[in-house]
């Protein structure tokens, strides 16, 4: 039976890896999710084949708890997954990721408390948690507890920020100094757990780790949320891998390592796309302050354009490049934008979509929205592939994007965005920006592009503006 169990875990792990690999492409992503889901179902079913359960030793306790947990968690996930709006998807990702970290931390807590109780029963007082679990298991269990707990509480704060429930950028004066002291204290109590058998030490350790996760995430700016979500995803995977080693579960070890490494790579790529380090993301707080005016001397007013005129300009363009941002998600305008694209294509206009690596509120946010609307994958271009083409573009249509097309990132050394690679929309012959108001973007940095000579503003809700453009293009025959 043990051979069957381990073989099943190996198959489940292989399905996780294959599923994750297929998720790297929009073409195969749906299939990848199904494969990874099948792996999870297999791993869950194998749980019921452990010798203790088959012998009937835990039928009246753990089996019932497992079934109730699966029913509650699976039922709620199915309901919320069907109901959630695309604009709320980043919040859901952050929340579910936090649950994974919390689960890993809970596994560690159970093992540490069991070891603590066993060690405490030794009246000599010489037995420690490390003696009971073994050096390697104790170290990885404690590390998984720290990482999982921080990922749990940090992800909850990320959810609260994305959902508009928390708008604070600091909780205490000298927040970063407080965080450093708190981190040192957490590590100190982690070491104390290893060398002792005190249950109170474990409780204080978890409390400190929970608070640390909250405190290090609160100062992070809203514009950096995609990177933070990706980082916490990596941490959750790492914690799961560590706790898999503690439990001797091959599926958890492999799945955790794969998720942790993939999340780490994605975090580095996204930070690179912003020309910043991960540490800078945590400490800079871009998007936490007031509006920052451009320091390059840009002056002027935003020049408004009506949908009728914008439609004429786009209808007779040789090439239109559409740049979507979070505002498109809020307006749920992706379907109208795709309808506009189809009409323009029928008129002989070349239409492309340009995606910045950190557009939206989570990795791949814009790709998901466009795929939902039915936009073919070969019309969607990454920043590095499309930037040189803006010089040959008649109209760059920006809908709901701001910071990812901000020229300050290139020419204003005083800007918080300076150094971040952007989509070079300013190089197009004409730029049309669909925007609800005249305010700055999520980072709070003013955008000189909106005042440029070749830029016109089409103010209004994204979906209504796209509908007006469709009507204007249709009227031209």
* Stated length of the chain: 477
**C-alpha 242, offset from chain centre:** 22
Distance from C-alpha of 156 to C-alpha of 154, rounded to nearest angstrom: 5
pTM of the model: 0.81
- Cα angle 407, 410, 412 (rounded to 5 degrees) comes to 85
From the list 88, 163, 384, 403, the catalytic residue is 403
Query: What Rg do the C-alpha atoms of the chain give, in angstroms?
Result: 26
Continuous segment of H or E residues that includes residue 105: helix 89-120
Continuous segment of H or E residues that includes residue 129: helix 129-133
| SS3 (DSSP) at 147 | helix
The answer to whether 239 touches 147, Cβ cutoff 8 Å, is yes
DSSP 222: G
Residue with tokens 């794969």: 258
Q: Within 10 Å of residue 344's Cβ, how many Cβ atoms?
A: 24
pLDDT surpasses 90 at 65 = no
Per-residue pLDDT, averaged over 105-125, amounts to 86
Our answer to whether residue 403 is catalytic in this structure is yes
pLDDT surpasses 80 at 356 = yes
Average pLDDT over the chain reads 87
Q: Within 10 Å of residue 371's Cβ, how many Cβ atoms?
A: 18
Q: How confident is the model at residue 295 (pLDDT cuts 50, 70, 90)?
A: very low
Please give the backbone phi and psi of residue 457, each rounded to the nearest 5 degrees, phi first: -105, 130
Predicted local distance difference test score (pLDDT) of residue 383: 92
Q: How confident is the model at residue 296 (pLDDT cuts 50, 70, 90)?
A: very low
Which of 133-147, 268-282, 301-315, 372-386 is predicted least confidently?
268-282
Total H helices, total E strands in the chain: 19, 6
Distance from C-alpha of 82 to C-alpha of 75, rounded to nearest angstrom: 11
Provide the percentage of residues in the chain whose pLDDT is more than 90: 49
pLDDT surpasses 90 at 161 = no
**Distant-in-sequence, close-in-space partners of 370: CB < 8 Å, separation ≥ 6:** 324, 334, 338, 353, 380
DSSP 433: E
- Cα angle 276, 279, 283 (rounded to 5 degrees) comes to 100
DSSP 69: H
Which of these, 15, 110, 24, lies nearest to 364 by C-alpha position? 24
Predicted local distance difference test score (pLDDT) of residue 287: 52
């Amino acid at each position: 039976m043990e051979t069957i169990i381990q073989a099943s875990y190996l198959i489940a792990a292989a399905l996780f890896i294959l599923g994750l690999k297929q998720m790297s492409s929009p073409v195969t992503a749906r299939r990848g999710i199904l494969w990874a889901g099948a792996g999870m179902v297999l791993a869950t079913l194998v749980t019921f084949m452990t010798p203790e359960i088959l012998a009937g030793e835990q039928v009246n306790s753990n089996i019932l708890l497992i079934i109730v947990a699966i029913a509650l968690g699976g039922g709620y996930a199915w309901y919320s997954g069907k109901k959630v709006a695309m604009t709320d998807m980043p919040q859901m990702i952050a929340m579910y990721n936090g649950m994974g970290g919390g689960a890993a931390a809970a596994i560690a807590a159970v093992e540490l408390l069991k070891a603590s109780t066993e060690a405490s029963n030794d009246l000599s007082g010489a037995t420690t948690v490390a003696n009971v679990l073994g050096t390697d298991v104790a170290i990885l269990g404690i590390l998984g507890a720290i990482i999982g707990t921080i990922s749990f509480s940090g992800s909850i704060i990320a959810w609260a920020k994305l959902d508009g429930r928390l708008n604070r950028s600091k909780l205490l004066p000298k927040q970063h100094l407080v965080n450093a002291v708190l981190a040192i204290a957490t590590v100190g109590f982690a070491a104390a757990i290893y060398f002792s058998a005190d249950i109170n030490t474990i409780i204080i350790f978890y409390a400190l780790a929970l608070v640390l996760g909250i405190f290090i995430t609160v100062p992070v700016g809203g514009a950096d949320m995609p990177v933070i979500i990706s980082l916490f995803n990596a941490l959750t995977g790492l914690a799961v891998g560590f706790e898999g080693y503690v439990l001797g579960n091959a599926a958890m070890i492999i799945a955790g390592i794969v998720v942790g490494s993939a999340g780490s790579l994605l975090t580095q790529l996204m930070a690179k796309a912003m020309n910043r380090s991960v540490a800078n993301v945590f400490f800079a707080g871009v998007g936490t302050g007031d509006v920052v005016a451009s320091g390059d001397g840009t002056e002027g007013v935003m020049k408004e354009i009506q949908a009728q005129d914008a439609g004429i300009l786009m209808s007779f363009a040789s090439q239109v490049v559409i740049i979507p941002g979070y505002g498109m998600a809020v307006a749920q305008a992706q379907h109208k934008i795709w309808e506009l694209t189809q009409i323009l294509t029928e008129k002989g206009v070349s239409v492309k979509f340009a995606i910045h690596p950190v557009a939206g509120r989570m990795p791949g946010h814009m790709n998901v929205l466009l795929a939902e609307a039915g936009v073919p994958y070969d019309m969607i271009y990454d920043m590095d592939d499309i930037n040189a083409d803006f010089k040959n573009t008649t109209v760059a249509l920006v809908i709901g994007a701001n910071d990812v097309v901000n020229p300050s990132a290139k020419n204003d050394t005083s800007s918080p965005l300076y150094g971040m690679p952007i989509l070079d929309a300013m190089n197009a012959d004409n730029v049309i920006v669909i925007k609800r108001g005249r305010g700055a973007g999520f980072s709070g940095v003013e955008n000189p592009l909106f005042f440029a000579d070749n830029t016109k503003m089409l103010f209004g809700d994204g979906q209504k503006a796209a509908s007006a453009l469709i009507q204007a293009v249709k009227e031209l025959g």
